[in-house]
Structure 1
């Protein structure tokens, strides 16, 4: 069984179904897999005291990661060599394999680069980047007179 996307705008075309043909060709995973780079997704957030970077990288060990800091550029990389049994498999489709990747993040000047901490738990690499004391936001309630 094949699922086909329904596009209500296609009915307004001069030649109905023509765009469906092109969509099925160019939106097929055969083409998009070759264009999409295989890097882990990242969530970047900020709290009052720190910046947080979470990288979703399942199936790795903490020893696989290299985290480097040069100037204000934080680099997370993995170089993984395929082992025996996985190399012999003939995959029809492979979406969750990260053989090697490199992600770089430019840190703001308010980051305290001497206190960066990294943990890897349940397939997520978490980077905790504290802010410098003078960069932490002060908040207070202002009374209206």
Structure 2
């Protein structure tokens, strides 16, 4: 995900002129979990919310364990 923003502002009067320029960029990188299949990644931006769906690799079994709470 990345974004770039540029702006330019100019003001003039009889004896002077002022110009402002601005530039900003943004990039976000996500690391996929071990069991994710990079060919099955889907991303959708809606109302400012990024939803990412990952598919599992074929034959991948998630390691689970039960932790007893006393």
**TM-score with structure 1 length normalisation?**
0.29
**1:132 and 2:57 correspond:** yes
Name the structure 2 match of 1:115. Answer: 40
**Structure 1, unaligned runs of 5 or more:** 1-75, 89-98, 140-145
Q: Return the alpha-carbon distance in structure 2 between the equivalents of residues 130 and 116 of structure 1.
A: 6
C-alpha displacement of 1:134: 1.8
Task: Compare the two structures and name the one with the higher strand fraction.
Answer: 2
User: Structure 1's 135 and 80: CA in aligned 2 closer, same or farther, altered over 3 A?
Assistant: farther
Q: Tell me the C-alpha RMSD between the 2 structures.
A: 2.8
Give the direction of change, closer, same or farther, for the CA distance of 1:123–1:110 in structure 2 (3 Å limit): same
Aligned-pair CA distance for 1:136: 4.5
Q: Please, what TM-score do these two structures have when normalized by structure 2?
A: 0.51
Alpha-carbon distance between aligned partners in 1 of 2:36 and 2:52, rounded to the nearest angstrom? 12
Distance 2:63 2:33 in 1: 18
- 4+ aligned runs moved over 4 Å, structure 1: none
Corresponding pairs, count: 51
Deviation at 1:121, TM superposition (A): 0.6
Largest Rg, 1 or 2:
2
Q: Residues 122 and 137 from structure 1, CA distance in 2 versus in 1: closer, same or farther, beyond 3 angstroms? A: same
